[in-house]
Structure 1
Amino acid sequence: MPTKKGRAMSNLAPVPNVTHWPERAQLAAAFRWTARLNFHEAVANHFSLAVNDDGTKFLMNPNQRHFARIKASDLLLLDANDPTTMDQPDAPDPTAWGLHGSIHRLVPHARCLMHVHSIHATVLACLADSTLPPIDQNTAAFYNRYVVDEGFGGLAFEEEGTRCAGMLSDPKKKVMIMGNHGVLVIGDSVADTFNRLYYFERAAETYIRALQTGQPLRVLSHEIAEKTAQELDDYPDQAERHLSELMAILDDEGSDYAR
C-alpha cells in the first residue's frame, strides 16, 4: 500500500485503468482542505499536478466542480501539448486550461500549481503596491520569493496564461501575486505547494491586519528577512508532514477524497 512519510493511505481504493493514485489522493486532499479553509471561490479556482518528466501531462480538477466534493478519481489527466483538449467531452474549464496548460507547457520546474482567490491574498493583489514586506516569520518566508503581476489582461485564457508563464522563469520565485486577480503558487509536489499556499494566505492576512491598525510597521532588515526565508526553505519535512496530517484527519473522518 502506498505511504507518505510512513503513513499508509488507508482510503486508497484504485479504480481499474486509472493511473497516478498516490498523486490523485494527495491533490484531492488539498482540494478538500482548501475548501475547509475557505481559500476557494465557488467553483472557479484550479489546482494541477505534473505526472511526467517534462511536466506536460498533468492532473487537474474537472470543470466547475466544488473543491469540497472532489475525489481522486474525478481528476482529469491532460496533455499540455494536445490541441484537441478543449474539444473533448470532458474538457476542463477554459481559463484553467489557459493558465495551467500554458505554465505546464512552458515552465517545467512548476510541477504543481495552485490558483485561488483567497481573501487576504486577493486584497493584497488589489493594492496599488502589492509587495509583501517582511514583518513577521510568515511574511519573511516569501522575501524575494514572489513576483507581482501588474499586467492583468482579463480572464486567464491561453494568451493570458502564456503571459503569466513568462513571469515564472526564475525557480526561486514560487508565488505570483496576480494583480487585480488573486494568487498563483507553484512547487515541487502537492505537499510543497499546498504548504506554501497556506502560509502565503496567513502572511497576507497578517500584513493586511497590520495595515488596518494604522500604526507604523516593524519591518525586518534585508539580512534578517533573507536569513529567515532561507532557514524556512531548508526546514526539514514540514510540508510533507503538514499534508500527511491533513490526510490523516480526512481518513479519520471517513472522507471519500481518496476514492
Structure 2
Amino acid sequence: MNAHPRPSELTADETQSLRVDLAAAFRLAAQFDWHESVGNHFSAALSADGKKFLMNPRWRHFGEIRASDLLILNADDSGVMARPDAPDPSAWTIHGSVHGRRPEVRVMLHCHPPYATALASLKDPDMKPVDQNTVRFFGKLGIDLGFGGIADDAAEGQRLAAAFGNRSVIIMGNHGVTVTGRTVDEAFEDLYFVERAAKILVLAYSTDQPLNVMSDDLAQKTADGWLPYNDQAFAHFDYLKRQLDKTDPSYRD
C-alpha cells in the first residue's frame, strides 16, 4: 500500500486495502515468531485526525486474523470498553492514546519479539550502532524506561504517547517494542529490522567481547545511506504477501 496524502475518510477500496495489509502483518508476525499467545496489537488510522482506526479484536491469535475481523474504533469513544466486542484493555490504552494525540501516526505495531524484548530488558537498552542494521535506527529510536506495569489505564497511555516524542520506533523498557509508520509496509519493515538489529546486538553482547561501536559521524552517515532504500519496504511486503497468498490467502477475507 503506497504512501499518499490521507483524505478525511478513506474510500471503501482504500479501507479494504488497509484491512488486508494489516491482516497480512498479523499473519507474518505469527510466522516470524513475534507474537505472544493471543496478546499484542497492531492498528492503522482511517481518518485524517487518526482518531478513527482499525485494530485487532481481543485475544484473537495473530495467526488467524482476517481483514474482516479488524475492529473500527474511535479514540474519542469513552464507552468503547463497555462494548460486547471491546478490545484488549492494554491495546485500547496504548493505541487509543497514541492515535488520539498523534495524527501523523498512521500505523502502529506493538509486540514483544524475542530479541527486541531481550534488549528492552537490559539496564541500557540503547540500540548501539555496531552494523548496518543497528545503525538504521540511529537518531530515530526512542527509549522508554518508565515502565509502570501493564498498560491498562489512561495515565499510562498518555505517558506512552508522550514518550514517542518525534521518534518512530520506541524500545519500551521491561516490555517490548512499538513501531509507527505512514503505511503498513513501512512500519512492518522497521519492525522486521528492529528485531534483526536487536538479534545482532544481543548476539554480539553474548560473546563478552567489546563492541565496536561506530562514531556518531559514521553512524549518521551510514543511517543517511539507508534513505535511498526506503522504498524497498514496499517490495519486501509485496513479496511477503505473495508468499501468504500461496499458503493461506484467508487473511484477505
TM-score class normalised by the smaller sequence: over 0.9
Aligned to 1:135: 130
In structure 1, distance between residues paired with 2:48 and 2:13: 19
Aligned to 1:66: 61
Aligned to 2:229: 235
Aligned to 2:196: 202
1:257 to 1:112, Cα distance in 2 relative to 1, 3 A: same
Aligned to 1:189: 183
Cα deviation, residue 220, structure 1: 1.3
In structure 1, distance between residues paired with 2:48 and 2:26: 24
Q: Which moved more, 1:151-160 or 1:197-206?
A: 151-160
**Structure 2 gap ranges (5+):** 3-11
- 1:249 and 2:251 aligned: no
1:122 to 1:167, Cα distance in 2 relative to 1, 3 A: same
Aligned to 1:52: 47
Which residue identity lines up with residue 153 of structure 1 in the other structure? G
In structure 1, distance between residues paired with 2:251 and 2:172: 29
| Partner deviation per Cα, 1:190-244 (whole Å, 9 max, x = no partner) | 0010000000000000000000001111111211211221221332411111111
In structure 1, distance between residues paired with 2:77 and 2:165: 23
Aligned to 1:79: 74
Alignment length, in residue pairs? 243
Pick aligned residue for 1:180 from 170, 174, 197: 174
* TM-score normalised to structure 2 length: 0.93
Q: Is the 8 A contact 1:107 1:168 kept in 2?
A: no
- 1:125 and 2:120 aligned: yes
Q: Is the 8 A contact 1:152 1:178 kept in 2?
A: yes
Alignment of 1:156-175 (within 5 A): 156-157=151-152, 158-170=154-166, 173-175=167-169
Partner-residue secondary structure (3-state), 2:212? coil
Cα deviation, residue 161, structure 1: 1.2
Partner-residue secondary structure (3-state), 2:251? coil
Cα deviation, residue 18, structure 1: 9.8
Ranges of 4+ aligned residues in structure 1 off by more than 3 Å? none
* TM-score normalised to structure 1 length: 0.91
Aligned to 1:145: 140
| Partner deviation per Cα, 1:116-163 (whole Å, 9 max, x = no partner) | 111111111111111111000000000111111111011112221110
**Structure 1 gap ranges (5+):** 6-16
